[in-house]
Amino acid sequence: MHTRRTPRQTKATARALAAALTAAGLLLTACSAGDSMTATSEAAQPALAPLPSSTPAALAPYYGQKLAWRDCGVEGFQCATLKAPLDYAKPGAGDVRLAVARKKATGEGRPLGSLLVNPGGPGGSAVGYLQQFAGIGYPAEIRARYDMVSMDPRGVARSEPVQCLDGRQMDTYTQSDVTPDDRKETDALVGRYKKFAERCGARSSRLLRHVSTVEAARDMDILRAVLGDRKLNYVGASYGTFLGATYAGLFPGRAGRLVLDGAMDPSLSARQLNLEQTRGFETAFQAFAKDCVRHTDCPLGGKGAPPAQVGDHLAAFFRKLDAHPVPAGDADGRRLGEALATTGVIAAMYDEAAWPRLREALTSAMKNNDGAGLLALSDSYYERDGDGQYTNLMFANAAVNCLDLPPAFDSPEQVEKDLPAFEKASPVFGKGLAWASLNCAYWPVRATGEPHRIEAKGADPIVVVGTTRDPATPYPWAQSLAHQLASARLLTYAGDGHTAYGRGSACIDSAINAYLLEGTPPANGKRCS
């Protein structure tokens, strides 16, 4: 059961995937259909209008609040709670409490203020990301001169999380058949979407109308002021690029050194985003397929087999699982069916370091009837722990996506009509990702956002980073966002995986580090491999 998610996969995530398993191609070219659609959409969309530079009197108490820092229970980190208005149109009608964490600058040299980091999602915990990776894994020279800071966006993790299903209900939901073969299966899938939406509405009615990206970006400006920074310095990955770009569009004069890694394109509709992401996963899978057949243990084809054959074999395996799930050694009795297997494969597309594990997991499932490896990959994607409990990642993901844009499809009939386009985009994943795009059709609140351009005229240079074979945020999105932003510098990584910073490219890392430390952006169009 997929939603439009752009999770941050780093070396830390790759290590986490490996730990879970032992205890997450074709180049998109400038003449692709996706690029043509992006250019047309971008030209037709209005630009995000900046907010007034002066702070409204009704918001002054929020901008003037003092944070009460306390020990987080994680060595070297402090935590606090920030208040923001639940509804910016009615600041006195109630607050939302937002979890903030920081690690103070550790070394010598002129302090550079705060560096806010966000790992993406939507729904990823920025506080968890800071404590588990950024606060200890970012380059020492960055951590020496910046206070490393994170804030869980409204509705996420520690910040009054959106809640929907319990663990057992979520287990059922993630196993939903998203490749229905007849009306009965289609009705069952629609029923699952409706139940998910109803439970979210029942358990989180106060929040659901106020978890948009625009509201989260406005929260970031309150945090900037409370931290005492004149401008916001920020590194956002994946969905975090949309959040950072939105901030720059709303507050261009307060945008400092912004790095947007694995960029999203705000000018696209939900259907376009889902279709182009489907192409992105096909691109990544083709790269995996080429790598797989170089190895004698590739279960999807003999050594040197054409990638198309690899895709055919995987699709046939998924069809087999649709009819006959295999044991997965799960304490809760789950078996590996098509839905969980597909999610497991998709999870491994985010980082090429996970490809050997994927080969091993596929071999076990296909040859030994043991689905444990693919199930572990799927669980890592959904953030399900060994006790059968889930974080609120997927609940917040749906809540933000369904509020930011009108639904991709309004009915099963619309999905069926568009299936050929999705299956052309990806013969392996297209059908499932098309049906997954129906999830917002039954959401209990109407979308408040629309596709738009972000120009951020007057902002300091903004570094937009794109990876050429990125599965979740296809490279044309970075090209489009860089074209929209008036001060953008496009930095390209020619390679595999989701995002580029901190994933092994000295060229990428040195360019971004120089910008964050010295304020010197890379030349527009700089390319690394």
In this predicted structure, the answer to whether residue 19 has a pLDDT above a threshold of 60 is no
Is-catalytic flag, 238?
A: yes
Residue 485 covered by a domain: yes
Residue 119 belongs to domain with CATH number:
3.40.50.1820
Contact between 509 and 488 under an 8 Å Cβ cutoff? The reply is no
User: Which pLDDT score, from 0 to 100, does residue 150 have?
Assistant: 98
User: Which pLDDT score, from 0 to 100, does residue 308 have?
Assistant: 86
In terms of phi and psi (left: phi > 0; alpha: psi -120 to 50; beta: otherwise), the region of 222 is: alpha
In this predicted structure, the answer to whether residue 6 has a pLDDT above a threshold of 80 is no
Q: Following DSSP, what letter does each residue of 238-277 receive, concatenated?
A: THHHHHHHHHHHH-GGGEEEEEEES---TTS-HHHHHHHH
Tokens representing 233 are 């310095």
* CA–CA distance, 298 with 434 (Å, rounded to integer): 28
**Rg, Å, the chain Cα set:** 22
Residue 444 preceded by cis peptide, ω within 30: no
Annotated catalytic residue, options 150, 238, 364, 380? 238
User: Which pLDDT score, from 0 to 100, does residue 44 have?
Assistant: 74
In this predicted structure, the answer to whether residue 7 has a pLDDT above a threshold of 70 is no
Contact between 462 and 456 under an 8 Å Cβ cutoff? The reply is yes
SS3 83: strand
DSSP 87: S
Residue 302 — pLDDT band, cuts 50, 70, 90?
Answer: confident
Tens-digit pLDDT profile for residues 456-483: 999 999 999 999 999 999 999 999 999 9
Residue 236 carries which side chain, given as an amino acid letter? G
Is-catalytic flag, 324?
A: no
Residue 273 — pLDDT band, cuts 50, 70, 90?
Answer: very high
Q: Determine the distance from the C-alpha atom of residue 181 to the mean position of all C-alpha atoms in its chain, rounded to a whole number.
A: 29
Residue 92 — pLDDT band, cuts 50, 70, 90?
Answer: confident
Residue 80 covered by a domain: yes
Going edge to edge, which strands form the sheet with 95-103?
70-71, 78-85, 95-103, 147-151, 114-118, 232-237, 255-261, 462-469, 488-496, 526-528
Residue 257 covered by a domain: yes
Contact between 269 and 414 under an 8 Å Cβ cutoff? The reply is no
In this predicted structure, the answer to whether residue 3 has a pLDDT above a threshold of 60 is no
| 248: nearest Cα among 512, 488, 74, 441 | 488
Q: Determine the distance from the C-alpha atom of residue 259 to the mean position of all C-alpha atoms in its chain, rounded to a whole number.
A: 16
Specify the long-range contacts of residues 55-61, CB closer than 8 Å, at least 24 apart: 55/225, 56/91, 58/91, 58/92, 59/85, 59/88, 59/91, 59/222
Annotated catalytic residue, options 35, 171, 265, 470? 470
Tokens representing 289 are 């397929």
Tens-digit pLDDT profile for residues 94-142: 999 999 999 999 888 899 999 999 999 999 999 999 999 999 999 999 9
In this predicted structure, the answer to whether residue 241 has a pLDDT above a threshold of 60 is yes
In this predicted structure, the answer to whether residue 28 has a pLDDT above a threshold of 70 is no
- Domains of the chain: total: 1
In this predicted structure, the answer to whether residue 444 has a pLDDT above a threshold of 90 is yes
In this predicted structure, the answer to whether residue 10 has a pLDDT above a threshold of 70 is no
Specify the long-range contacts of residues 515-520, CB closer than 8 Å, at least 24 apart: 515/257, 515/259, 515/461, 515/463, 516/112, 516/115, 516/142, 516/146, 516/233, 516/235, 516/257, 516/259, 517/112, 517/141, 517/142, 517/145, 519/257, 519/460
Residue 150 covered by a domain: yes
User: Which pLDDT score, from 0 to 100, does residue 304 have?
Assistant: 83
Query: Residue 177 to residues 174, 184, 186: CA-CA distances in angstroms?
Result: 9, 11, 9
* CA–CA distance, 423 with 440 (Å, rounded to integer): 21
Tens-digit pLDDT profile for residues 411-422: 999 999 999 999
* CA–CA distance, 90 with 82 (Å, rounded to integer): 18
User: Which pLDDT score, from 0 to 100, does residue 456 have?
Assistant: 98
Percentage, residues of the chain above pLDDT 90: 89
Residue 23 — pLDDT band, cuts 50, 70, 90?
Answer: very low
* CA–CA distance, 146 with 40 (Å, rounded to integer): 40
Tokens representing 357 are 């594990």
Residue 499 covered by a domain: yes
Backbone angles phi and psi of 150, in degrees to 5 = -145, 160
| 261: nearest Cα among 523, 529, 503 | 503
In this predicted structure, the answer to whether residue 392 has a pLDDT above a threshold of 90 is yes
User: Which pLDDT score, from 0 to 100, does residue 43 have?
Assistant: 64
Percentage, residues of the chain above pLDDT 70: 92
Tell me the helix, strand and coil percentages in the chain, rounded to 5: 50, 15, 40
How many beta carbons lie within 10 A of that of residue 51, not counting itself? Answer: 18
> How confident is the prediction for the chain on average, in pLDDT?
92
Annotated catalytic residue, options 41, 176, 498, 505? 498
Is-catalytic flag, 159?
A: no
Residue 19 covered by a domain: no
The crossing angle, in degrees rounded to 10, of helices 307-323 and 338-348 is: 150
Beta strands in 262-348 (DSSP E): 326-327, 335-336
Q: What SS3 string covers 354-393?
A: HHHHHHHHHHHHHHHCCCHHHHHHHHHHHCECCCCCECCH
CB burial readout 134-163, b (16+ within 10 A) else e: bbbebeeebbebbbbbbbbbbbbbbbbbbb
User: Which pLDDT score, from 0 to 100, does residue 41 have?
Assistant: 54
Residue 510 covered by a domain: yes
SS3 320: helix
Tens-digit pLDDT profile for residues 40-86: 456 678 999 999 999 999 999 999 999 999 999 999 999 999 999 99
User: Which pLDDT score, from 0 to 100, does residue 307 have?
Assistant: 82
Tens-digit pLDDT profile for residues 306-344: 888 999 999 999 999 999 999 999 999 999 999 999 999
In this predicted structure, the answer to whether residue 26 has a pLDDT above a threshold of 70 is no
In this predicted structure, the answer to whether residue 175 has a pLDDT above a threshold of 70 is yes
How many beta carbons lie within 10 A of that of residue 62, not counting itself? Answer: 22
The domain in which residue 53 lies consists of 36-161+208-268+450-528
Residue 397 covered by a domain: no
| 215: nearest Cα among 510, 449, 57 | 449
* CA–CA distance, 131 with 502 (Å, rounded to integer): 16
User: Which pLDDT score, from 0 to 100, does residue 193 have?
Assistant: 98
What is the pTM for the complete model shown? Answer: 0.93
Residue 287 — pLDDT band, cuts 50, 70, 90?
Answer: very high
Residue 141 carries which side chain, given as an amino acid letter? E
| 219: nearest Cα among 116, 109, 322 | 116
